[in-house]
Structure 1
Amino acid sequence: MVFITSEKINSSSSDLKKQASDVLKVGEKLVSMLVKPTNTYDNVSFTRAAVEAQVFMVGPQAPLNKIPQLDTTNASIDIDLIGIAKNNNDTAAVAFMSYNTMEDLLKPDFFITSDDTVNTMMSTVISATLPKTPNTTLTKPVNFTLRHIREFESGGNLSCVYWNISEWIVDGCSVVKINSSFTVCSCLHLSTFALIMQTSKSPPEDGDPLMELVNLVSVIVGLVFTSLALLTFAFCRWKPGVNNVARINICISLLSAHLLFLLTQQFINLIKPHKELCAVISGALHFFFLSCFVWMFIEAVLLFICVKNLSKLSSKQRAVLNSGFLIVIGYVIAFVIVGVSVGLVPEGYGSEQCWIKQKKGFIWSFLGPVCFILAINTILFISIIISLNSTLKKLKAEYSRKKQTKIMVFKTLAQFVILGCPWILGFFTDNQMMKILFLILNSQQGTFIFLVYCVLSDEVRQQYMKWMRALLP
């Protein structure tokens, strides 16, 4: 029951050191209860999500010249238990535990180093004791082999440390061997151990003034035209259709995402110290940007259906799908993706820029759906072009019908830019020109929506003319 409780340790508590000490003390007492008398040798082991443990006992008739190596998933120990037994009437026992979640309590920051270094835990926290062994003096140094749980950085300095009441220290421990996957530590005593890497802090990078200016101006311009498009859709009184609903919600999602992004970047220095707020903001950005893409996908599907029915043009536009259903789909999909992401990797939100963290591939909770939608939209776009080309060849109506069809072709091309092109460029931002192009196009989706579906719309122009006639005497 104690180990079950240890799996639910609260790393957000202010008294982490006390929690860790309690778990370690109780763990040592519990494994000591597994020690039982034996004439030869015996061993007991168990594994849980939070801890792995092995207990090895030798007796006066043990036919061993050397103790077998004790192993867990991420660590192993070599100890001269036979020599220790000779100092204890030929009996001794060793308990070896590996705590998989103790890093959340015994943080690497508790290892006191210079201010210009960053400490990173490179192994699980392990503990070795000699339960029910009166004379615990080691006859030889004990060696631990610790598997790296993170990639070893070139230039990093590794230290074998043990826990001394309130901090990690290195007294009596040294590094014997290092490779890319494992480090061997040698210690003159038993305790709770870990492997910590020190790396130099990266100097703060000054933002590129040109990029910051381009980003700020582009986002503001995009917000203005997205707002104009949204107001136009809201106040123009033609019959609302499903396509109109999709465009309104694209504008709402774009406006929410870009406005929150702009405010976050402008006040990033005030937000970063509040990690919970930063994580909430990154989750909200994840949701709004995903909802943008879901609505873009819906718009692409509706455009595809419209083009497929182009040969049946009529004076009345009919909704092909229920608006309420699309509104639910447009936001529920994004909400479910974010909810699952929070449930699986809650620490994945709240990077230095209050966005999704890169570690453990968590960024693909955003890139995965985006890539999928862009791929589907590309397929739909190709199908639309093929269908339009076929319709134009067969169309033998009056010139005005052909003109309207050509306008629709132009809108389709512009729609593809709105739905996919700016974000596809995001995968090729290795040089500054591509990065600037990405920032400009990505932030101007609302501008393109306003130009194509408001400025070039006959219905919108007619509505504007009505307003002008009503205002003029």
Structure 2
Amino acid sequence: MPITNLTPNPKHNVNFTSNCGKDLFNQIGNITAQVLPPQDVSTYLSIVLTTQGQLLKVEASNSEALTTYGNTVVNITEKLVSTLVKPTDTTYSVNISLDDLVTQVFAVGPNANVKEIPPLNVNNSQMDIDLIHISENNHGSAAVAFMSYSNMANMLKPSFFNPTNNTVKSMLSTVVSATLPKTPNTQLSTPVNFTLQHITDVVPDSTLSCVYWNNTEWIVDGCELLQSNSSYSVCSCVHLSTFALIMEINPPPGESDPLMELLNTVAVAVGLFFLSLTLLTFAVCRQNLRRNLTPLTNLCLSLFLAHLLFLLTQKFLQYIRANQTWCAVMAGVLHFLFLSAFVWMFIEAVMLFISVKNIMKIRSNQEEVLGWRCLTVIGYVIPLVVVGVSVGLYPDGYGSDQCWIKTDRDFVWSFLGPVCLILTLNFIIFITVIIILRTALSKLSSERSQIKQMRVLVFKILIQIVILGGPWILGFFVDGSNVLAIVFLFLNSQQGTFIFLVHCALNYEVRQQYRKWLKTFCCYFRLQHKTEK
């Protein structure tokens, strides 16, 4: 087909559609010539780039379609560039320079009298490859093509790198491609180094990543950043593909909404008040409650300290964040306290399981299982070990913008991992407890009152686990949703309120004690009133 028949008419660009682009790509992709003169290849490449520019206008809002077209452009370009390679006994080099694409092809033959080939340079990007060693594995012949795309970042967008990472991503270099056309054995003996010029300034404290395109996303597998300065970065890769240098920047902290800040402070304060009231109730009513309160008391204590520290940290965040060490310490202590709360929740579930197993001796056995000193050691040593191991593996994992766990290297799983494990184990324990209770209920008649009490306790602890675990599970889906973020903060801040309602307000023994206190207070008030008269 004549080349002129494929060239889009600029006068009709206003009528350009995606189908037009697909047709042009299909026609060029069906070219079967093995070797083409550079001027023909240049013309075809111009058609591809013109079509690419039109598709960027037509499909500007369709990222998925642009990704597909980007893959097509890369594949067609590599196919056209491969037709520049022709048989040679010595060496052969050809360059093509267009507005949005610069290409260099270098080939060596069996009689090439060179020890090494010079670096390939395109559009201020450089590639060092051991083509001589590659040719030795291909009967003395090999060819390499190096291409730089100026407009490809608009199709293969940097946002396709680590899409779950909440950072601002941008291209720090042009997109480049490297191939070994008409070379049967493409195994690399040594990594290939790319020196990429920065197309924008490097932001302080940003993260640079050497990446390659894998059909739908940018990934780092097989590539690493060797060195970098203000102008250039050197990437090393163990394979050839389409590469780029991506810069990640932590999003700037948005301006806080005074109303939301006030609501958050009030909500946390309310939760702290009810946690204090719960702890006071347990301290005064300990003798009247028919259960081991050590796990629940320590759970409330851990939550109280965690929420209090969180409130103070957020209240004075601008001062704490100025000192990175203090910020990291606060994050580590919060990590420990929240983990401790979940460990105590697990201990309470285990104690419940043991009590149900010994349902005929509910009262006595529960006290004989483990003493409060042993439970205290378990409840606080386990989270301390987790935090210690986390610090040892990744010392810089604490101290995000909010003085919490950083998301780098998925370090947040040092918290979410144990939480998910504990919630899973608690679920298994509760299934087992329910089975045991059903069996006991069918066999025992004289102990029905004890079984009923145990079923109520099971229900309360189950509600407690939902109260504590539900908000953190919801936290997996908060990213990007303001509504879910508000729900997450509310549920977390009101954990103390829910615990008070479940274990105090809905507890018959506690209500009776409250009535006694109220009567005593009323009697005292009346007596004082009569005395004054």
3-state DSSP of counterpart to 1:276: helix
CA contact (8 A) 1:237 1:463 kept: no
Map 1:388-403; keep pairs closer than 5 Å: 388-397=437-446
Q: Which residue among 371, 389, 392 is the counterpart of 1:340?
A: 389
- The match for 2:503 among 446, 453, 458 is 453
Does the aligned pair in 2 maintain the 1:214–1:436 contact within 8 Å?
no
**Alpha-carbon deviation of 1:215?**
3.4
Relative to structure 2, which stretch is displaced further, 339-348 or 407-416?
407-416
Indicate yes or no: 2:299 matched with 1:250. Answer: yes
**Pairing 1:207-246 to 2, within 5 Å after superposition:** 207=256, 212=261, 215-238=264-287, 243-246=292-295
CA distance in 2, matches of 1:434, 1:450: 24
Change in 2 beyond 3 A, CA 1:399/1:370: closer
Contact 2:290 2:363 in 1 (8 A): no
Matching residue within 370, 386, 397 for 2:435: 386
2:346–2:426 Cα contact (<8 Å) kept: yes
The question of 1:264 aligning with 2:323 is answered no
Distance in 2 (CA, whole Å) between partners of 1:311 and 1:259 is 41
CA shift in 2, pair 1:440/1:202, >3 Å: closer
Q: How do residues 91-240 of structure 1 correspond to structure 2 at under 5 angstroms?
A: 145=194, 150=209, 168=229, 170=231, 202=251, 204-207=253-256, 212=261, 215-238=264-287
Does residue 425 (structure 1) correspond to residue 474 (structure 2)? The answer is: yes
What are the Cα deviations for residues 383-430 of structure 1, in whole angstroms up to 9, with x where unaligned?
222223333344434885575455335424423323433322222336
Counterpart code for 1:359: D
Q: Structure 1 pair 151/224, CA: closer, same or farther in 2 (3 Å)?
A: farther
CA contact (8 A) 2:195 2:233 kept: no
2 CA distance for matches of 1:458 and 1:201?
Answer: 51
* Count of residues in correspondence between the two structures: 329
Per the TM alignment, residue 206 of structure 1 is displaced from its structure 2 partner at its CA by 3.6
| RMSD, aligned CA | 4.5
Task: Give a deviation string over 1:173-198, Cα, whole Å, max 9, x none.
Answer: 79999998757xxxxxxxxxxx8x66
Relative to structure 1, the CA distance from residue 67 to residue 214 in structure 2 (aligned partners, 3 Å threshold; closer, same or farther) is: same
Deviation at 1:240, TM superposition (A): 8.5
Q: Measure, in 2, the Cα distance between the counterparts of 1:210 and 1:231.
A: 32
Task: Report the residue type matching 2:387 in the other structure.
Answer: V
**TM-score of the superposed pair, with normalisation by structure 1:** 0.57
| CA spacing shift, 1:223–1:151, aligned 2, 3 Å | farther
Residue of structure 2 equivalent to 1:439: 489
Q: Which amino acid in 2 is paired with 1:451? A: L
Q: Find out whether 1:415 has 2:474 as its counterpart.
A: no
Distance 1:198 1:401 in 2: 63
Match of 2:377 in 1: 328
The amino acid across from 1:216 in the alignment is T
Change (3 A) 1:360 1:395: same
Equivalent pair of 1:253/1:291 in contact (CA under 8 Å): yes
Query: What does residue 202 of structure 2 align with?
Result: none
Deviation at 1:339, TM superposition (A): 1.0
C-alpha deviation, 1:353, in angstroms = 0.7
Counterparts of residues 256-295 of structure 1 (less than 5 Å): 256-295=305-344
Cα displacement string for residues 292-347 of structure 1 (whole angstroms, at most 9, x for unaligned residues): 11111101111122223334445896342121111111111111111111112111
Mapped to 1, the partners of 2:316 and 2:252 lie a distance apart of 21
Greater RCO (CA < 8 Å, at least 6 residues apart): 1
Kindly provide the amino acid, as one letter, of the partner of residue 405 in structure 2: I
> Retained in 2: the 8 A contact 1:286–1:338?
yes
> TM-score, normalized by length of structure 2?
0.52
- Which of 386, 393, 417 is the equivalent residue of 1:368? 417
Say if 2:505 and 2:511, in contact at 8 Å, map to a contact too.
Answer: yes
The alpha-carbon distance between structure 1 residues 207 and 302, as it changes in their structure 2 partners (threshold 3 A), is same
Structure 1 contact 374–419 (Cα < 8 Å) conserved: no
* 1:96-117 residue CA offsets vs partner (Å, 9 max, x unmatched): xxxxxxxxxxxxxxxxxxxxx9
Opposite residue 334 of structure 1, the aligned amino acid is P
Deviations 1:144-176 (A, max 9, x none): 635997255999xxxx9999xxxx554xx7999
Residues 354-365 of structure 1 aligned to structure 2 (within 5 Å):
354-365=403-414
User: CA 1:419–1:176 in 2, change beyond 3 Å: closer, same or farther?
Assistant: closer
Structure 2 letter corresponding to 1:250 = L
Q: Is the 8 A contact 1:388 1:409 kept in 2?
A: no
Name whichever of 444-453 and 271-280 sits farther off: 444-453
- The 3-state SS of whatever aligns with 1:236 is helix
**How far 1:382 moved relative to its partner?**
1.8
Q: CA deviation at 1:248?
A: 1.1
Mapped contact 2:194–2:234 kept (Cα < 8 A): no
Question: Which amino acid in 1 is paired with 2:298?
Answer: N
CA distance in 2, matches of 1:429, 1:325: 38
Q: Return the alpha-carbon distance in structure 2 between the equivalents of residues 285 and 467 of structure 1.
A: 36
Q: 1:201 and 1:236, CA in 2 relative to 1: closer, same or farther beyond 3 A?
A: closer
Q: Give the deviation of 1:68 after TM superposition.
A: 8.3
Counterpart-to-counterpart distance in 2, 1:201 and 1:237? 49
Normalized per residue, which structure has more helix? 2
Question: Residue 377 of structure 1 contacts residue 419 of structure 1 at CA under 8 Å; is this kept in 2?
Answer: no
Alpha-carbon distance, 1:212 to partner? 4.3
Is the Cα–Cα contact under 8 Å of residues 336 and 383 in structure 2 kept in the other structure? yes
Residues in 2 aligned to 1:161 and 1:405: alpha-carbon distance in whole angstroms? 63
- Contact (CA 8 Å) 1:145, 1:182: kept in 2 or not? no
Instruction: Tell whether the 8 Å contact from 1:294 to 1:334 is kept in structure 2 after alignment.
Output: yes
Q: 1:150 is paired with a residue of what secondary structure?
A: strand
Which deviates the most, 408-417 or 262-271? 408-417
Letter in 2 for 1:415: Q
Q: Which has the larger radius of gyration?
A: 2
The question of whether the paired residues in 2 share the 8 Å contact of 1:278 and 1:350 is answered with yes
Q: Is the 8 A contact 1:265 1:353 kept in 2?
A: yes
Change in Cα spacing, 1:161 to 1:438, as seen in structure 2 (3 Å) is closer
Q: In the TM superposition, what is the alpha-carbon distance from 1:219 to its structure 2 partner?
A: 1.8
Q: Within 5 A, what are the aligned runs for 1:311-322? A: 311-313=360-362, 318-322=367-371
Cα distance change of structure 1 residues 362 and 302 upon mapping to structure 2, 3 Å threshold? same
Amino acid in the other structure paired with 2:378: I
